Every structure is written in structure tokens, then in C-alpha cells.
Amino acid sequence: MAAKTNVQQLQKAGIIAAKHNLTEADQAKVNGLTDNEVSALISARQKLGDALLKKTAKGGKFPHPDSFSY
Amino acid sequence: MQTNSQRLRGKIELVRPRLRQAAGEVWHHPRLAELFPELLATVHSVIRATVPTLKTAEECARARAAEDPVCAGMVEYLAAHAVEEKDHDEWTLDDLETLGVKREDAWARVPSPAAAALVGVQYYWMRHVHPVAYLSYQAIMENPPSPEFLEQAVERTGLPREAFATQFLHATVDPHHVADFDRLVDSLPLNEWHHSILGVNAFQSVELLAQVYEDLLCRFETKIRDGA
């Protein structure tokens, strides 16, 4: 049986919802992650599919700050 | 072929929407004028650790520099950047004072556990794994705000522009810091192990920073609900 891709592993863990179609570029980024990075995403329970689809969520013409810009 | 910095930023972009969502709930809050002092106090709770963590990263890198070319490549940059970041936490306290919050009151606040965890994990990675990990924290944190957005926030809140002074300063200065940072990361002889550490810490740090925003909002809304 072929090894699972990172996208498949993250879908199985619920980190990427199966219904979400990631762009080819995002799929390539995700599939390029190491096993440790995939584990870190699963550990953090980040809903990657939702997050990627919310790239345009909130904000108007100018983006709001998202870090503390130390 | 991607550069080191492009590879790191590509990973952060995968999870940054989570952070943008959490930060957006704060910055677009209908009561931002009341929330803003809380936001500045939260910022201060994290950035008070900037220079100390940079110095620790430098010490850890210097200790390994003779045998480790990645560490050797970081030492000078970290030392210089600690100087550039000096007093930014004090400037945030100045901004708070324009809003009537005394310095001692800002220091007396108990920071959120997420803020402590966000900073604390950096010490773990750089002291007990490898100081290169600190660079993903820096890549996440040093993301310049848009001056146009800040102007809108001043107008929307009706707060004095001086309360946003440090934010405006970062909007001007940070793009240069980002360019310097990318040059440093691209100059380092990183292997897959280093890249993996950078990615793991980036994912963890983004999640923790998102939790810092969520804690801030939760505390604020609880206070409003309880009429405090």
C-alpha cells in the first residue's frame, strides 16, 4: 500500500477537512513538510483547511496587524 | 529552488490565517477603544522578553559557534538586533501612559498563561535543542503593521494618535528589520534538521500567539459581561 501523503495524514487527523480542496501550491507546501512538522500541526490541533480558506477573513482594504511587531 | 527564508515563510503562511483570524477579532472589535489598552498591556507582557530572549539566543549561539557554522552565522546578527530592539517595551508603556495606564499598573497585571508559554518555549528550543529555532519566533513576531490600517484604527477609536506611536514606528522600521532577517536566514547553512526545527517551532508559536489574542478577548468580554 502506498504511503500516505502529508495532506492525507492531516485529513485523517481532522486538521484539514476532507471537503476542503487546497490549492496545488498549498498542497505542495504541506506535502513538503517533515514528519515532525506534521506531528506539530496535529499536536497544535490547527484546523489547516479552515485556516487556509479564511485567508481573506476579516479586514478591509488594509490588513490588520497579526503579530506584536517587536 | 527556494531560499531558506522563503521556505520558512511558506510554512508560516500555512498557519498564519489562524493567527490573522484571532488577531482580527481583536483589531476589528466593536469596542476597540476600550480593548486597546488591554491589547497594549498584552503586547507589553510578551515584548518585555524580546531583548532578554535575543540575548539568550546570542549566548546559546556563541557557546556553540566554534563547532557549529549555523550558530557562528547567527551570533553577530543577534547581538546587533538586541540593540535595535532595546526599549521597545518601554515605548509601549509610554503609549499606555497616554491612555492613563500607569507603568506600575501594566507591570502588576498577571500575563496570560499563553503569553508565558509563547516566550517560555523559545527558551526551551534555543537552550535545549538549537538556537536556530528562535528565528521562526522572530519571523512570526516581526511582521510590520500597515500604517493605513493604523490610521483607520486611530480614527475608528477616537484615541490619541500617541497611543499608537510604537505601532506606527514598527510600521516604518520593521520592513528594514525583515530584510535584514531574511538576509541572515538565507546566509545560514541550514540542513533538513534545522528546517524541521524552524517549522515545528513556527507552528507551535503561531498557535500560542493566537491563544494570546483569544485569552485577551475572553478576559475583556468577561469583564464587560460582569460589568467590571
Q: CATH number of the domain at B174, please.
A: 1.20.910.10
Reported confidence tier of residue A56, pLDDT bands at 50, 70, 90: very low
Which residues in chain B touch residue A61, judged by CB atoms under 8 angstroms apart? 148
Which H or E run contains B54? helix B50-64
Local confidence band at A49 (pLDDT 50, 70, 90 cut-offs) = low
CB B143 within 8 A of CB A63: no
Torsion of CA A10, A14, A17, A19, to 10 degrees: 100
Instruction: Give the C-alpha separation, B39 to B53, whole Å.
Output: 21
Domain that holds residue B160: 4-225
Q: Which residues of B touch A40 (CB under 8 A)?
A: 199-200, 203-204
Q: Name the burial class of residue A32, with classes exposed (0-12), middle (13-18) and buried (19+) by CB atoms within 10 angstroms of its CB.
A: middle
Residue A56 C-alpha, separation from nearest chain B C-alpha, in angstroms: 8
For A54, the closest of B17, B46, B148 (CB atoms) is B17
Instruction: Enumerate the domain spans of chain A.
Output: 6-53
Using 50, 70 and 90 to split pLDDT, how confident is the model at A61? low
Higher pLDDT, A1 or B7: B7
Share of chain B above pLDDT 70, in %: 100
pTM of the shown model? 0.92
Report how many domains make up chain B: 1
Residue A55 has pLDDT above 60, yes or no: no
